[in-house]
Amino acid sequence: MKQNLLISPFVGKIMRIARMQLFFLLLVSIGKAEVTHAQPEIEKIISVNWSNVTLKQAIQSLEKRASLHFVYSQNVIALDQKVNLVSKREKVKNILDRLLIPLQIKYEVIHGNIVLSRVLSSTVTTPASVLAMSVQERGAPLPSVAFQPIPDRIVRGQITSETGEALPGVNVMVKGTTVGVNTNNDGNYQLSVPEGSSAILVITSIGYLKQEIPLGSQTLVNVQLKPDEKALQEVVVVGYGEQKKVSFTGSESIITTRELKQSPTALLSNALGGRMAGLVTVQRSGEPGYDGANIWIRGLGTFGSNQSPLVLVDGVERDFNNIDPHEVESFTILKDASATAVFGVRGANGVVLVNTRKGTGGKPKVSFTVEKGFLSPTRLPEYVDGYTYATLYNEANRNADLPLPFTDEVLQKIKDQSDPLRYPNVDWMKLMKRSAGQEHVNLNISGGNTTVRYFVSTSYFHDKGFFIEDPRNAYSTNLGRRRFNLRTNVDINLSKDLELSIGITGITENRNFPGTGTQEIFNLMNKATPILYPMVYPNGRIPGTVASAQQNPYGRLTQTGYATEFRGTTQGTFGLKYNLGRLTKGLSAMGRFAFDSYSSNNIGRKKNFETWLVSAENDPTTGEPIYNLTAEGDKFLGYSIDTWGESRSYLEASLNYNRSFGRHDVGGMLLYNQGGRQATAGSAIGSLPYRRMGLVGRATYGWKERYFAEINFGYNGSENFPRGKRFGLFPAFSGGWVVSDEPFFKNNVPFISLLKLKGSYGIVGNDQINDQRFMYLTTLKTTDGYLFGTEFNNGIGGIMEDAIGNANITWETSRKSNIGMELRAMKDRISLMLDFFREHRTNILTQRGTVPDLLGIQSLPYANIGIVNNKGIDATLTYRTSIGPVRMDLKGTYTFARNRIIHNDEPTRRYDYLRRTGQRIGQPFGLEAIGIFSSQEEINNSPKQVFNSTVVPGDVKYRDTNNDGTIDIYDEKPIGYSNIPEMVYGFGGTFTYQGFDLSLLFQGVGNVSVFRNYEGYIPFAQGQFGNVLRVALDRWTTENPNPNASFPRLYPGNNDNNYRNSTFWQINGNYLRLKNAQLGYTIPKLWAQRIKADNIRLYVNGLNLLLWDRIKLYDPESGDGAGKYPPSRVINMGLNVNF
C-alpha cells in the first residue's frame, strides 16, 4: 500500500503527458541500445552567436552548422521562447547543454536524430557551471538530473540596459537549478522558485556582464545590465583578422572543409570548381605534379601578365595547393574592394584566405583516414584503324590528283594482319595507357588544456600516371608523385593576457617523369599513324627512323631515360597576441613572423635509344626478319642536375580595437607589414631580393547591429618601381543595412528572417605587371651583327639598346564597386547571397602599338596605358529541408563575368571589326564559315578565296565580311568566345538517411569556345605521317556531298584554305559534368565502441565522373586538347575512424 502511494503521483504525471511526448520518452528509453549516428556530429567544434532568437531558430541554426536533425513535439517543447548564447570554438554537445538545460529540456541521440523531451520539474546539481561555461571549461562532465517537487513561488521583474532600454531574450535562471526563463519583447520575465529557499537569480545576455541577485523574500526584481566588452561574436575571416559576421559589408565566398574532403584529388584547386560563387577554375592538364587548376576570382580583369589572386595561408603568402584538406579550418575568397583594399597593391585580382586547423581543449582526439583510388583519363581521342587509315589516305591523294600510295595487296595485308611487322595496325592511344591508382593516408591528433592547445596532422599521398612501362628497365619511366605533409599548430597561454601561436609545416614531394616531356609524348600519340610501325618488335627492339615526324611514341616514352624532381618546403609561423584591456577595454596587440624555405632538385637520367626497321624481305637462309639499325643509341644513362632555392620572410605588427558602447559598435585596426624573398636566378637582376612593405588600416562602425559602415585602406609599395613612385594608397568604403531588423519589415514580412543590403567602392592595385623586373631601367646588350666599312661578310661586335625603360612605370589600378544582398527566408530553410559587381582596371602594362617603324626602335617600349572593364554577377542559393527521415541540404552557385578591352594602344586597322579594342580578353578572330562548296559552279559564283591553294568542291566556304569580292585575312572577325568561360555554375546537395549520406556536385561552364584545327585533329596534317580521327569519317566526298559535313574533303597535308581559324573548326566548349559524388555509411555507435572508436565511416567517392558536352573528343577543360595529358576520372574508397 505504501509503495502504491509513492508511485501513484509519478504515474499520474505520465498519464497526463501527450501521446507524442510519450512516444519520444519511449524512444529515449531504448535509445541507449540503438544506433547513434549523430554522435560524431555533436563532437564537432563550432561557434554560435545567438542574441534574442527563438529556440526554434537556435535549433535550425544547429541543424545547418553541425548537420544535425532534431525531433520534437511542438506540443511539448516551447519553440517560441527567446534564448541567448555565445560560444566560440566549442563542442556542439556542450552548446546543447548550455542551451537546453536552463530550459528544462533534455536530449538523446536516437537513430541519428537529436530527440528533445521535457524534464519534469527537475533541478540539477551544478547547472551554473553549464550556464557560465568558459572556453577553458569545455568538455566538463554534464550535470546530473534529479526530479524535485514543483516550485511554488512566483518572481517577476524587468531587465533593462543602463540607458533604460528593455532587453528581450535575457536569460534569467535560479542558481543551482534548471529553473529559468527568457525575457519577452518588453524585457519582462516571470518564473517559479521553491518557497523558503535562499535562491539566487543568475541573469545573462549576449554583450552584457552576468549578474547574480540574492532573491531573499523578494517577488519583484528589476535589473539593469552593464555591457560586456569581451562578449564573443560569430565571426568571419577577413583580411588580417576576423570580423563579426553581421557587420561584414564586403563580398566573400566560403567553402566548408567537409566539401573539400569530398573530392579525391591531390591538389585543393581541383576541389573548388562549382562550389564557390565568384570563382572560375579551369584544369588544363591532369599530369601528376602539374595538374593544378588555374583560378580567377570574378573572371579576368586585366590582359596583363598577372591575372591570379593573392593567396594567403595562415596570414602569409603561400601556395595552398599542396595542403591536405584534412588540415583546413576555413577556405575563403575575398572578392570586392572593401574586402581586399587592406592588401593594397596586391589585391586587384581578389584574395584567397586559407586558415589551417587549431587545437581545442579537452582530451586528445585522433582521426585516421585511409583512401585508395583508381584513375583513368576522362576522355582520349579515338583514331581510325590501320585499314581505314590507308583507305582514306588513298582518297586524300586521289583528291589531290596524286598517285595512290597503297595498293590493294597492301591494303589487304593491313586488314588481315598477315604481316604485322611490315604492315602493322597500332592503336597508340589504347596500347600506351594502363590503369593507374592513388593512395592517401591522413592522421590528425588534437587536444590540450586551459594552457596549451595543439593540432598535429601528417599525411601521405601517392599517385601514378597511366603510361605503360618497359618491364626490362630497372627504373620507372611513368609519371608519379609522392607527397608527405606534416603540420603542427600549437597555441599557448603564456599568461592571462598573452597568447603564443606556433605553426610549423613541412612538405616533401618526389616526382617522376619520362625522359621525354609529357606533352611531346602526347603529340606523338596524336600524330603517329596506325601503320607507321609496330609499337615494339618481338625481339624487344624499338621500331623507328631518324625523321622527327616519324618518331615512335613508345620509344620516346620508355627508352629515353627518366627524370626526378625533389621538392622541399619548410614553413614556420610565430604569433603573439596581447590583451591590452588594462589600458582600455577592447584593445589588443598582435605580432606575426614567418620564415619559409623552398628547394628543388631536378635530376635528369636521359639517353638516346637505338631504332630499327624490318627489311622488306626475310632472311632467305633462316626465314627470320632482317632488322636494320636506323639510329644509334646510348649505352648508359646520362646525368644532369638543376637546383633551385628560395627563402621568404614576413613580419607584421598590429593594434586592434573592438568595443561596444550601448547600441554602438566600433572597431579599428592599424597594421604594419613587410616581406621579402630571394631566390636562385640565372641573372644578376633576378637574384636581387624582392621587397614589400606597407601600412594597413580598418575602421568599422555599427549601430544597433542594424546599420554598418566600414573604411579600409592599404598604403604599401614594391621595390619594382622607381624611387619616389613605389608607394600608393588604396582606400575602400562600404556600408550595410539589416532591413529585416526594422519594425516596419518585421511586422509585414514575417517569412523573411534576414534581409541585409550592402554596398562597397574602393581602389586596389596589382604590382605584378610583368615578368621583367625594374622596367624603369633601360638595358643594353652585346651584339655581333653590326656592319661597318667594307666588311659586309662578318658582323662587328658592339653594344645596342635592349629594352627601353619607362621612368613612369607603375602598378595596375582597379576601381571596384559592389552591391549585394543577403537573404534568409522560410524559417531559414532558404538562403541567398547575391552580388552585382563592376571593375574599371587602368594602368595595365601594354607594349606600344602606335609607335611608327621609322623611329628605328627595335623593341617597342611598354607603358601603363591599358584599360579593361569587367562586370557581372555571382550568387549562392541554399535550401535545407527534410522529407520524412531524409534530410536534404541543397546548394547552387552561379558566376557570370564579362570583360571588355577599352584601350590597348592598338595600331590602326583597315576595318573596325578587326580591332581588338572593344572585345573580350582572349577574343578569338577568324573567318566565318558558311558551309562546304558542292560544285565548281558554286565556287565560280562566290567571292574568290586567296589562301595559296586552289579551291575545289569539298573545300570550306567563307563569308566575305567586307564585301570586296575577295576572301582574305581582312575578312577575319571576332568569332565565338575565349577559352576561359564567362559563366560558371554548380549545383548539388547532401542527402542523409539514418547512417547513410549521399553528396552530389554538378559543375558546368558557359560562353567558352575552343578550336579543333591542331595537328592531331587535321587528317594527314603531315602527309602520310598524320593520323585521322574517327569523327573525320563524316567528311565531304563526291558520293556524299554534304555541305554540313564535319570535315571538308580529305587532302594529303595541310590545306591552307580549309584549316584556317574559322567557325568551321571552332566549337562550343560549354559542358556540364558530375564533378563529384560521394556515398558514405557511418557504422553504428555500439559497433564502433568495440574497438574503442567514437566513430567509423566508410565511403566511396569520385571525381569527374560524367560529362555532357559537344566536343566529344577530349576533355573540354583542356582547351584544344593538343598534347594535353587529360584530367583524371577518379573512383575512390575510404575509411575514417575517430577516437
Each residue of 831-885: pLDDT tens digit?
A: 999 999 999 999 999 998 888 777 767 778 899 999 999 999 999 999 998 888 8
Q: Give residue for cell 569519317.
A: 1033
Q: Which of 310, 352, 327, 40 is nearest to 997 (CA)?
A: 40
pLDDT value for 148: 37
Q: Name the pLDDT band for 35 (thresholds 50, 70, 90).
A: very low
Smallest CA-to-CA distance from 875 within 788, 983, 1037, 1007 is with 983
Question: Which 8-state DSSP code applies to residue 544?
Answer: -
Cell, residue 462: 601517392
Q: What is the DSSP letter of 519?
A: H
Contact 926, 1061 (CB under 8 A): yes
Confidence of residue 31 (pLDDT cuts 50, 70, 90): very low
**In whole angstroms, what is the distance from residue 1037 CA to residue 1040 CA?**
5
Task: Give the count of beta carbons closer than 10 Å to the beta carbon of residue 178.
Answer: 25
Tell me, rounded to whole angstroms, the distance of Cα 749 from its chain centroid: 36
CATH of domain 236-370: 2.170.130.10
Domain 15-225 adopts which CATH fold? Immunoglobulin-like (2.60.40)
**pLDDT recorded at residue 1080:** 95
pLDDT-based confidence at residue 151 (cuts at 50, 70, 90): very low
* CA dihedral (930, 931, 933, 937) positive or negative: negative
Of the listed ranges 300-314, 336-350, 533-547, the least confidently predicted one is 533-547
What does the block give as the cell for 436?
A: 593507374
Rounded Cα gap, residues 925 and 960, in angstroms: 15
Q: What is the pLDDT of residues 552-609, one digit of tens each?
A: 999 999 999 999 999 999 999 999 999 999 999 999 999 999 999 999 999 999 999 9
Indicate whether 718 pLDDT > 50. Answer: yes
- How far is it, in rounded angstroms, from Cα 577 to Cα 241? 12
* Average model confidence (pLDDT) across the chain: 87
- CATH 2.60.40.1120 domain residues, the chain: 15-225
Element (H, E) at 345: none
pLDDT of residue 199: 79
C-alpha cell at 923: 577574343
What is the DSSP secondary-structure string of 725-737? Answer: SSEEEEEEEEEEE
d(CA 95, CA 83): 12
Q: What mean pLDDT do residues 380-409 have? A: 94
The interaxial angle of helices 92-100 and 55-66, nearest 10 deg, is 170
Task: Quote the Cα angle for 113-116-117, to 5°.
Answer: 145
Residue span(s) of the chain under CATH 2.170.130.10 come to 236-370
Mean pLDDT confidence for 213-242:
76
Q: Residues 499-520, buried b or exposed e (16+ Cβ, 10 A)?
A: bebebebebebbbbbbbbebeb
Question: pLDDT grade, residue 1022 (50/70/90)?
Answer: confident
- Mean pLDDT for the stretch of residues 80-109: 82
Is the pLDDT assigned to residue 791 strictly greater than 80? no
